[in-house]
Amino acid sequence: MAPRLGRIATAAVLQLAALVLGHQLVYLARYGSRFGEALVHSGHGDAWTTALISSLALGAAFVVLAVARLVRLGVLVRRAGTGPSVLPPRGELAPMGLLRTWLRLAPRIAVLQLVFLTAQENLERSAIGEPMPGPGILLSPEYAGGAWIALGVALLVSLVAALFTWRRRVLLARLRAARGPLPRVAPSSPRPVRREPSPIESLLGRRSALRAPPPASIAI
């Protein structure tokens, strides 16, 4: 349960970081030097500033934790006396594994990025009393290629996440290869089991020992 919650939390933080960064870059490309003023007039007040700072701080904390984990694994690999040649680079551990990991993450983050950013922009328009343009708002000329900016941010965030994930797999695989399999203990030969007489047999033996032998027949 704990690893699953960790994966969900990591995915949520990645998506939130992509959304916030994409939103800021879309507005920067749309308004340029009037970026800050446009945010205020479009309903982005103190609440948005707080949410922005919190999101960036959370994303930075996750990056620090990920880097610390990679550094710790690297130290363990060096202590184990392993190197790049210990494990053959194949499958998920080869450089192509990084590409496959990225291709698994990128579509999900990109689609959710467009969905969330489109919904957010429509809700912001509704909050200030303007009509909602609908699902094509990021493709409108007013947003200066907002959809492509959002996609670019999503692909970049997913690439960074894939790089951390792939590197962690490589280090763990090298650490397992350096430690090797656990030694198998050879089964010892069984000792001969001494069979003790059962209580019934012992009781009968004692009774027979106390009984007098039958008289010998006398020949006439």
pLDDT tens digits for 81-103?
655 545 545 555 667 888 888 99
Residue 112 belongs to a domain: yes
Residue whose pair of structure tokens reads 């698994």 in the numeric block: 104
The residue ranking higher by pLDDT, 128 or 216, is 128
Residue 66 belongs to a domain: yes
Alpha-carbon distance of 167 to 170, in angstroms, equals 5
How far apart, in Å, are the Cα atoms of 129 and each of 41, 43, 123, 126? 12, 10, 10, 5
87 touches 93 (CB < 8 A): yes
Alpha-carbon distance of 114 to 139, in angstroms, equals 11
Quick one: average pLDDT of 51-70? 86
- pLDDT digit string, tens, across residues 145-171: 889 999 999 999 999 999 999 888 888
Residue 220: predicted pLDDT: 39
- Residue 28: name the closest of 146, 127, 148 by CA: 146
Residue 125 belongs to a domain: yes
Alpha-carbon distance of 79 to 144, in angstroms, equals 52
Residue 184 belongs to a domain: no
Q: Is the pLDDT of residue 16 over 80?
A: yes
Q: Please, what's the largest Cα pairwise distance for the chain?
A: 144
What is the number of alpha carbons within 13 Å of residue 145 lying toward its C-beta? 8
The encoded tokens of residue 74 equal: 């690297």
The encoded tokens of residue 155 equal: 């692909």
Residue 89 belongs to a domain: yes
Show the domain range for 165: 2-179
Q: Is the pLDDT of residue 19 over 80?
A: yes
Residue 197 belongs to a domain: no
How far apart, in Å, are the Cα atoms of 144 and each of 17, 25, 28, 147? 21, 11, 10, 9
Residue 115: predicted pLDDT: 94
- Residue 9: name the closest of 71, 88, 75, 62 by CA: 62
Q: How many other CB atoms are found less than 10 A from the CB of residue 147?
A: 19
Q: How many domains does the chain have?
A: 1
- pLDDT digit string, tens, across residues 167-199: 888 888 888 877 665 445 555 555 655 655 555
Cβ-in-10-Å burial (0-12, 13-18, 19+) of 159 comes to middle
What is the number of alpha carbons within 13 Å of residue 146 lying toward its C-beta? 25
